Amino acid sequence: MVNQKGGVGKTTTSVNLSAALAIAGKKTLLLDMDPQCNATSSLGIEPTKRHALIGETPIHESIQYNKASCISIVPGSRSFEDIDRLAGPNIDDTQRVRRHLDDAFTNFDFVLIDCPPSVGRLTQTALVASTEVLIPIQCEYFAMEGLTQLIQTIKQVIVSTSGRLSFGGILLTMYDPYLELTKEVDEEVRDFFGEIVFETVVPRDVALSEAPSHGQTVFQYAPRSRGAYAYTQLCMEVLQRD
């Protein structure tokens, strides 16, 4: 999950799409690589002192299972030392991260990585280890701003990894069908990116904002909400594309 802008629904999508996939019977792992650790705390889990991707210990030993949400998670860390190593140019550290993630990929149907709001080295490390990238875009005036830089970064990773990484989709979030601006952004994004944009849109829904404060996914907090329905639909679309 990548976007250099904050507040676009990246962590919300990471957590709730993970939950939806798990509910659908898919073995799903959520990996928190954002130093803010919002994906971790939104499930009522404490960030770790050291990030699991840094050490030599197999990553499966660091996985925590949140029984209530059915999500397996590798918690994030706010350690500045770990952030520097994850984002640094040291080839040994980068290869260690890649080995850990490859090991996780073999044990799960889906591994979702919540990236920080940037296109820096930390995000690039996650992209290099991934097979698909999903970009949430908020339906606002500056939605397309910075996307060119993000797309260029993704294309560079695709080339450098010999096509291992591909575009998984673009997701419109905070969607308000009653606003003319929302309709304009929707049309602009779909005209420019075409079929890569998910048919599903995530509406503005207070349940999505409130659920993390209770340490819950939207499916636990408000299973009949518009947000829960949207992420159910997104999950079905992801499975159809897989």
Average pLDDT over residues 111-119: 91
More confident: 14 or 145? 14
Contact criterion met (CB below 8 Å) for 129 and 156: no
pLDDT value, residue 92 = 62
Sheet holding 71-74, edge to edge: 64-66, 71-74, 28-32, 110-114
Q: What is the CA radius of gyration of the chain?
A: 17
Q: Write the CB contacts of 57 (distance below 8 Å, at least 6 apart in sequence).
A: none
How confident is residue 124, by pLDDT bands cut at 50, 70 and 90? confident
For residue 105, the surrounding DSSP H or E stretch is helix 91-107
Q: Write the CB contacts of 15 (distance below 8 Å, at least 6 apart in sequence).
A: 30, 39, 42, 43, 71, 114, 212, 217
Contact criterion met (CB below 8 Å) for 63 and 74: yes
Average pLDDT over residues 115-127: 86
Q: Both ends of the chain: CA-CA distance in Å?
A: 16
CA distance 191 to 7: 24
Tokens for 177? 């069908």
Across the chain, mean pLDDT equals 89
pLDDT for residue 110 is more than 70:
yes
Structural domains of the chain sorted by starting position, each given as residue range(s) with its CATH number in brackets: 10-237 (3.40.50.300)
pLDDT for residue 51 is more than 90:
no
pTM, two decimal places: 0.93
